[in-house]
Amino acid sequence: MHNNYYLLRQLTEELRPLVLGGVISECFSQNKEELVVRIEVGVKSFYIKANLQPAFSCLSFPDVFHRAKKNSVDLFPDCIGLRITGVRQFTNERSFSLELNEDYSLLFKMHGNRSNALLFKDDHVHALFRNNLEADERFGVKRRSLWPNQH
């Protein structure tokens, strides 16, 4: 049970100082169920690699990631250039978000075979990584009202 609330709570505490103030410079996919987010923090790049396969979803944080010149697609273009203002862990939820300026947030929903990444604008779903999860379009119609207890 690697994607439980208690592990993600510790992960977000470790992640917060590493990405806070960073700017998202790339968001792309090279595989059908894999999302890579590149964050520029000072003079270094920080990567979040989200494997969102239904059979096994996980997060990893490689030091270096070489983007392929072919078979690569840009995703979530609206979050490129936005600064990370916070990392939010939702109480008793297997989800956390990177809070961005301009009222955007990038939510990582680590719910087993329904894992997904969702881009929110003003607490409404703006874009989905896995579009085939139709329930996610309604997932955060008012994200804050769904999860009132947040860290």
Q: pTM for the complete prediction?
A: 0.87
C-alpha 3/C-alpha 26 separation (Å) is 25
- Show the low-confidence residues of the chain (pLDDT under 50): 141-151
5 alpha-carbon distance from chain centroid? 15
C-alpha 114/C-alpha 121 separation (Å) is 21
The first and second tokens of residue 11, run together, are 């992960």
118 alpha-carbon distance from chain centroid? 7
How confident is the model over 2-44, as pLDDT tens digits? 788 999 999 999 999 999 999 999 999 999 899 999 999 999 9
Considering the domain delimited by 5-146, tell me its CATH architecture.
Roll (2.30)
Domain ranges of the chain: 5-146
